[in-house]
């Protein structure tokens, strides 16, 4: 801009200098021509008087300079005398402009250029009393000659004008541009230098206000979005159309093992799994899709939703859900279903086999009680299984219709022990209940199931003449139920798994004594619904002790 202004001012200044020089010289030239013409008239008048007084003798004593020429012309145009040469050889002068005017008016004037245009002559003619004409002419340089002869001063003047224009243009352009450069665009309306800039500055000011409003609005929305996504357990990532990260919440950072500095980076530089690549490809075509990916041993469901504006995909929203538990539960459910079918099929097959044999009279009369006993025990096993399965599925649904109330642990333990006393007696096992009479907030039926299953196991897996102790202890904030026995014990490598569904240390032994493999699963579930902790100690051949610590509230 400065250059443009500088160039314009420079051209204008040079043009003004040149134009004024030309006009000045023209005016000067015209002025001196006028002066020369009036001098010529005076000289012509004087010369006419001389010729009138002295006649042709006037010319004899005449001593003129080279530039002045005097011609005496007869009434018919014949040249009678000429200072420049032989008058006889000269052509008739009657048709000369100044001569014609003098014949008519007494005086005549004219200016004529020489053939080269470098010189011109001024003429002044006077008609004398005898009718003859006296003409004076003076040679004068034309303006071109004048210019050529003044070339040197003109050039000096031009160079001076050039330098002056340069300085002038430089200073002016800087003076014009400086306030523009110093405009305070943060407060556009405070700039008063140029009135002409007022509409632009008003426009900038209103646009700035608008931008600020939009910026604040965006910031507020970003804050809201951050507040929502910060606390989310699910990972959420926003990508632009180039698959660069625009936003990533802490959960997603944790899942992808990255930090907030990944914003602006290409998503595949954070995780370049095949599944993610496939998702991005589909999303870039505007399709919603989801996939399961495994990261650090955890399973995540990855959903990619394209953001479509107009007909273009302008970005993608990635949602990461931890589905490890869900998948595990699904797997457990599948295993449970398969186990249930298997466990139910075995007694059913035995019942079916015995019934078929009896139906076809293939069982002798004396064996009938044995077969009937088998059918009875297998049917009993199926009932136990079904009861346990119903109990478990009930527990799977959570507390729902079950109500927590104040219950006495010692009371429930005593009740449970008495329901199992026959079983204990049968195996000649001593069953003891002792401890603090502590009350807790809980579901009586579930606590009863916990004590029942633990005591039942303690009796089942005990030696003849062994003992089972049920102890209730008040720990202040919590209460502990401990069931210990003097039984066979559990090998250490099985301790971690005995609470799994259908898990038995010795399958055939468990079946023999009517175990289903679900007893401890029910204990685990019921304990979890009371936020209780379970601990197990066992020594092979010496016995097992299982404690359940329940918060009172
Ligand atoms: P089950 O119905 O077979 O007893 P549980 O879930 O109650 O199933 O127990 C799982 C397994 O843990 C049992 O099969 C048994 O091997 C072992 N177990 C449980 N309690 C005891 C105990 N008190 N003494 C020895 N082993 C036990």
Q: Give first-to-last CA distance, the chain, whole Å.
A: 82
Give the pLDDT score at 381. Answer: 87
For the residues 443-460, what does the mean pLDDT come to?
94
How far is CA 545 from each of CA 360, 455, 484, rounded to the nearest angstrom?
A: 50, 10, 4
For the residues 174-193, what does the mean pLDDT come to?
82
Confidence of residue 117 (pLDDT cuts 50, 70, 90): low
CA distance 509 to 457: 12
Residue 544 has pLDDT above 90, yes or no: yes
Task: Enter the DSSP assignment of 266.
Answer: B
SS3 239: strand
Residue 254 has pLDDT above 70, yes or no: yes
CA distance 377 to 370: 10
User: Residues 488, 540: contact at Cβ < 8 Å?
Assistant: yes
CA distance 135 to 98: 8
For residue 152 the two structure tokens come to 């040197």
Residue 398 has pLDDT above 80, yes or no: no
For residue 98 the two structure tokens come to 């100044």
Task: Enter the DSSP assignment of 189.
Answer: G
Give the pLDDT score at 432. Answer: 96
Residue 32 has pLDDT above 80, yes or no: yes
pTM for this predicted structure: 0.54
The residue nearest atom 2 of ligand 1, judged by CA position, is 515
Ligand 1 centroid to 460 CA: how many Å?
8
The structure tokens 């009172």 sit at 552
For the residues 321-343, what does the mean pLDDT come to?
88
Closest Cα to residue 237, out of 271, 285, 286?
271
Element (H, E) at 328: helix 324-359
Beta carbon of 522 within 6 Å of any ligand 1 atom: no
CA distance 512 to 234: 48
Give the pLDDT score at 328. Answer: 87
Task: Enter the DSSP assignment of 400.
Answer: T
CA distance 317 to 396: 34
Residue 401 has pLDDT above 80, yes or no: no
For β-strands 430-435 and 467-474, DSSP reports them as: parallel
Closest Cα to residue 297, out of 341, 266, 267, 327?
327
User: Residues 414, 433: contact at Cβ < 8 Å?
Assistant: yes
The structure tokens 């466990």 sit at 343
User: Residues 546, 481: contact at Cβ < 8 Å?
Assistant: no
Beta carbon of 498 within 6 Å of any ligand 1 atom: yes
The residue nearest atom 11 of ligand 1, judged by CA position, is 504
Beta carbon of 13 within 6 Å of any ligand 1 atom: no
For residue 117 the two structure tokens come to 């245009």
Element (H, E) at 500: none
User: Residues 472, 417: contact at Cβ < 8 Å?
Assistant: no
DSSP string, 109-145: EEEEE-TTSSEEEEEEEEE-TTS-EEEEEEEEE-HHH
The structure tokens 């004590």 sit at 451
For residue 331 the two structure tokens come to 């797997």
Query: Residue 298 contacts by C-beta under 8 Å, 6 or more apart in sequence?
Result: 255, 322, 324
Using N-to-C axis directions, what is the helix angle for 151-181 and 2-54, rounded to 10°?
150
Q: Which of 126-140, 191-205, 219-233, 437-451 has the lowest mean pLDDT?
A: 191-205
For the residues 215-230, what does the mean pLDDT come to?
90
- By percentage, how much of the chain surpasses pLDDT 70? 99
Query: Count of alpha carbons within 13 Å of 184, Cβ hemisphere only?
Result: 7
CA distance 273 to 281: 13
Phi then psi for 116, rounded to 5 degrees?
A: -90, -10
pLDDT (tens digit, 9 = 90+) per residue, 478-531?
999 999 999 999 999 999 999 998 899 988 888 788 788 899 999 999 999 999
Ligand 1 centroid to 372 CA: how many Å?
28
The residue nearest atom 25 of ligand 1, judged by CA position, is 489
Ligand 1 centroid to 505 CA: how many Å?
7
| Ligand 1, atom nearest to 487 Cα | 24
Beta carbon of 429 within 6 Å of any ligand 1 atom: no
């Amino acid at each position: 801009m400065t250059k443009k202004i500088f160039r314009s001012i420079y051209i204008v200044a040079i043009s003004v200098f040149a134009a004024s020089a030309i006009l000045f010289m023209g005016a000067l030239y015209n002025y001196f021509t006028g002066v020369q013409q009036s001098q010529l008239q005076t000289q012509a008048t004087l010369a006419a008087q001389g010729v009138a007084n002295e006649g042709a003798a006037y010319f004899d004593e005449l001593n003129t300079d080279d530039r002045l020429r005097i011609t005496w012309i007869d009434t018919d145009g014949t040249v009678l005398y000429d200072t420049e040469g032989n008058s006889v050889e000269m052509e008739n002068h009657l048709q000369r402009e100044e001569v014609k005017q003098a014949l008519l008016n007494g005086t005549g004037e004219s200016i004529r250029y020489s053939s080269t245009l470098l010189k011109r002559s001024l003429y002044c003619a006077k008609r004398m009393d005898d009718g003859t004409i006296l003409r004076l002419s003076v040679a004068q340089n034309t303006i071109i000659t004048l210019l050529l002869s003044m070339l040197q001063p003109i050039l000096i003047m031009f160079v001076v004008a050039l330098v002056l224009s340069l300085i002038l243009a430089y200073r002016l352009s800087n003076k014009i541009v400086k306030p523009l450069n110093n405009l305070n665009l943060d407060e556009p309306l405070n700039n008063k230098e140029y009135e002409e800039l007022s509409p632009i500055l008003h426009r900038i000011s209103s646009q700035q206000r608008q931008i600020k409003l939009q910026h604040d609005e965006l910031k507020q929305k970003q804050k809201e979005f951050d507040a929502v996504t910060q606390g989310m357990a699910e990972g959420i990532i926003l990508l632009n159309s180039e698959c660069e990260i625009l936003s990533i919440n802490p959960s997603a950072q944790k899942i992808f093992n990255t930090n907030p500095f990944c914003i602006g980076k290409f998503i595949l530089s954070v995780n370049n799994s095949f599944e993610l690549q496939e998702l991005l490809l589909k999303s870039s075509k505007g399709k919603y899709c989801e996939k399961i990916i495994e990261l650090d041993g955890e399973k995540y469901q990855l959903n990619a939703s394209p953001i479509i504006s107009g007909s273009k995909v302008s970005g993608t929203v990635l949602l990461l859900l931890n589905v490890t538990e869900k998948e595990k539960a699904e797997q457990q459910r599948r295993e449970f279903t398969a186990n249930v079918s298997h466990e139910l099929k075995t007694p059913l097959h035995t019942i079916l086999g015995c019934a078929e044999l009896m139906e076809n009279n293939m069982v002798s009369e004396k064996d009938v009680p044995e077969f009937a006993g088998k059918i009875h025990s297998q049917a009993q096993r199926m009932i136990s299984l079904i009861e346990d399965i119903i109990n478990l599925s009930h527990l799977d649904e959570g507390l729902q219709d079950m109500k927590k109330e104040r219950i006495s642990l010692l009371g429930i333990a005593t009740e449970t022990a008495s329901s199992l006393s026959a079983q204990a007696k049968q195996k000649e096992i001593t069953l003891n209940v002792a401890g603090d009479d502590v009350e807790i907030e809980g579901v009586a039926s579930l606590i009863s199931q916990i004590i029942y299953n633990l005591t039942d196991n303690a009796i089942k897996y005990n030696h003849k003449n062994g003992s089972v102790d049920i102890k209730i202890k008040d720990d202040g904030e919590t209460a502990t139920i401990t069931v210990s026995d003097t039984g066979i014990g559990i090998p250490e490598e099985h301790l971690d798994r005995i609470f799994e569904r259908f898990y038995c240390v010795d399958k055939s032994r468990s079946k023999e004594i009517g175990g289903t493999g679900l007893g401890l699963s029910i204990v685990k579930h019921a304990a979890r619904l009371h936020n209780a902790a379970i601990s197990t100690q066992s020594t092979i051949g010496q016995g097992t002790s299982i404690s359940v610590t329940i918060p009172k509230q």
